[in-house]
Amino acid sequence: MTRPARFKDHEGDRVVMMDRDGVINYERRDYVRRVEQFRLIHGAQRAIRLLTQHGYQVHIVSNQSAVGRGLMTQDDLNEITGHMLMRIEKAGGHIESVTYCTHTPDDNCDCRKPKTGMIDKVVSRYGFEPQRAWFVGDSLTDMAAGNAAGCRTILIARDLPPTKFATNEHAIPDFITTDLHTAVASIILRI
């Protein structure tokens, strides 16, 4: 599934924004609240290392409402983030920035995906055009945010039935794959 007329390939397109839970690490119904619960998905470290080796900036953009819900503290989230960054660096990858929305859905903030506040913040801080960046996620919320910001989007659809797209036309991804490594290989090969 592609939207070829919208995007042109530019040699300078070296930015990938991605969700965290379900993309880099396994997601939990009760949230990843402690560092002991953080489990990297097989191939995620290798995928981020490949992006780093090919000169891509990698930015994490993730809803983390467990903080706003009082299920974990900001210090808990910082510890998990430090652990993730250390493991990825140790494997040869690099994450340029991590941006979280810790609000609950009821807070109606501008940063929580599917709104674009976190993406806008990264774009403003690092000075790139969102149309020249990729957004990789595992949910329709991720796709809606990436599309609304103007990014090229890749959905990691392990368990998402294709019929889900019928309910949200704004969440249709540019590409669909099964894991981060395949998504990254496609980006590097300039699909």
CB 77 within 8 Å of CB 25: no
List strand residue ranges (DSSP E) for the chain, in order.
15-18, 57-63, 97-101, 134-137, 152-156, 175-177
Please indicate whether residue 19 is annotated as part of the active site. yes
CA distance 191 to 27: 28
**What letter does residue 25 receive in the DSSP assignment?**
B
CB 99 within 8 Å of CB 146: no
CA distance 7 to 32: 35
Q: Which of 9, 13, 21, 76 is catalytic?
A: 21
CB 156 within 8 Å of CB 178: yes
CA distance 134 to 11: 14
Q: Which of 9, 13, 19, 174 is catalytic?
A: 19
Residue 18's Cα: distance from chain center in Å? 2
In 3-state terms, what secondary structure has residue 21? strand
Residues recognised as catalytic: 19, 21
